[in-house]
Amino acid sequence: MSIDLVMDLGSENVKIYKCGEGLVFNEPAIALVDRTADKLLLGETGYKAKKIAAETLERYTPVHPIKNAVITDQEVAELMLCDFLEKINVRPTMKERLRIIALTACGLTFSDRKVFAGILKNIGASRVYIVDGLFALYSYSEVSRGFFVDVGGAVANVAYITEGGIVSGCHANIAGNAMNEEICNMVHSKYALSIGGRAAERLKLSSGGLEPNIKQKFPVSGKDIVTGELRSAEIAGSDIRSCIVVTLDKLVLLINSMLFSLPEKDYNFICKNGIFLSGGTARLLALPEYLAERLKLKICVVKDCEEAAVTGAARFYEEKGLLSDFTV
């Protein structure tokens, strides 16, 4: 008997798909840890950790052990992922085999992949398969070839994929968090107010995203950069939009540089068939329309864009011999 999981480890949240049940877990990759004792102690993880981290902490320190799609703290990552498995009642025993397909960012080095594989084996996996998340998305889309763009919270993944595999692909830190950082910087310089990433995220989502001609203003609270006192301000929707555009135009440059590097027949194929768009940030209002206008290409938003990759990867368990190519 085996337990077959897909774990999406390539973005801000860790998603876990359990074969036979579907998506069973989706929480932020954050942990609260206590480093004062002789042994590293784990507090809360996921949504609880994110909520508490916004408050005053004394004993515990918030840690993001997966940063920009790579492991930055192996010890905390192992404790956090083990806790995530506990939350979905996965405790492999001698009578069970735990197989895990780990979805990572496109273009990771072999050494980075080995780190992910080592951690998953340490928490009980008998078999680990490291798969580019966009290749799993390609499987879900059921097309012979295509150009895929996944815009998550931490990174954007871009790749051209055919039946032979990924022809060209990479990831870059130009996604949802980068937009939030631009908003924080703008509010700091223009409104003399210091706000955090969560407040910037709320502004981004509530403002209408990329809707043109935004005339409304949106309230936010933070610390006055001069007095240090708490106060509120009304942020113009046009200012928020301009911050989002700064990040998206960097993404447009990345996409174009990859498109123009492809052979002419492949480039012409994409011009005819368009680009597949997925990821949590793909839900941002008017994002497909903005990219279509800037790239002069059709944008096809993938159905169930946040769960498509883990669903597509789960199909690999059904294809005999395929997973052997991804063993690390």
Residues 59 and 85 reside in one and the same domain = yes
Residues 158 and 299 reside in one and the same domain = yes
In a domain, 248, yes or no: no
Q: How far is CA 74 from CA 11, 16, 39, 77, in A?
A: 16, 19, 15, 5
Q: What is the pLDDT of residue 38?
A: 76
**Confidence band, pLDDT 50/70/90 cuts, at residue 284:** confident
In a domain, 295, yes or no: yes
In a domain, 43, yes or no: yes
Residues 68 and 104 reside in one and the same domain = yes
**Confidence band, pLDDT 50/70/90 cuts, at residue 311:** very high
Q: What is the pLDDT of residue 255?
A: 97
Check pLDDT > 80 for residue 53.
no
Q: What is the pLDDT of residue 322?
A: 74
In a domain, 206, yes or no: yes
CATH number of the domain that residue 153 is part of: 3.30.420.40
Residues 91 and 213 reside in one and the same domain = no
Q: What is the pLDDT of residue 57?
A: 66
- Which is nearest to 133 in space by CA: 302, 320, 321, 4? 302
Instruction: Tell me the residue range of the domain where 158 lies.
Output: 138-174+254-304
Which two tokens mark 284? 């941002």
Q: What is the pLDDT of residue 56?
A: 59
Q: Are 150 and 133 in contact (CB under 8 A)?
A: yes
Q: What is the pLDDT of residue 40?
A: 86
Q: What is the pLDDT of residue 328?
A: 72
pLDDT in tens, 189-205: 999 999 998 899 999 98
Residues 230 and 96 reside in one and the same domain = no
In a domain, 314, yes or no: yes
Residues 58 and 91 reside in one and the same domain = yes
In a domain, 162, yes or no: yes
CATH number of the domain that residue 200 is part of: 3.90.640.10
Check pLDDT > 90 for residue 267.
yes
Residues 50 and 122 reside in one and the same domain = yes
Domain end: 221, 242, 263, which one? 242
The vertex-159 CA angle with 13 and 298, nearest 5°, equals 100
Q: What is the pLDDT of residue 54?
A: 66
pLDDT in tens, 160-189: 999 888 999 999 999 999 999 999 999 999
Q: What is the pLDDT of residue 182?
A: 96
Q: What is the pLDDT averaged over residues 39-54?
A: 85
Q: What is the pLDDT of residue 75?
A: 94
Concatenated DSSP letters for 209-245? TT-TT---EEEEEEEETTT--EEEEEEEHHHHHHHHH
Q: Tally Cβ neighbours within 10 Å of residue 106.
A: 24
Residues 154 and 189 reside in one and the same domain = no
The vertex-151 CA angle with 148 and 157, nearest 5°, equals 50
| β-pair partners for 22 | 18
Could you tell me the strand order of the sheet in which 146-151 lies? 165-172, 156-162, 146-151, 275-278, 299-301
Determine the Cα–Cα distance for residues 22 and 277; give it in Å rounded to an integer.
22
Residues 128 and 47 reside in one and the same domain = yes
In a domain, 58, yes or no: yes
Top-ranked range on mean pLDDT: pick from 163-167, 195-199, 213-217, 254-258: 254-258
Least confident of 50-59, 63-72, 103-112: 50-59
Residues 155 and 297 reside in one and the same domain = yes
Q: What is the pLDDT of residue 94?
A: 66
Residues 83 and 19 reside in one and the same domain = yes
Q: Greater confidence, 306 or 235?
A: 235
Strands 146-151 and 275-278: parallel
Residues 58 and 77 reside in one and the same domain = yes
In a domain, 119, yes or no: yes
Which two tokens mark 262? 């492809």
**Could you give the number of structural domains in the chain?**
3
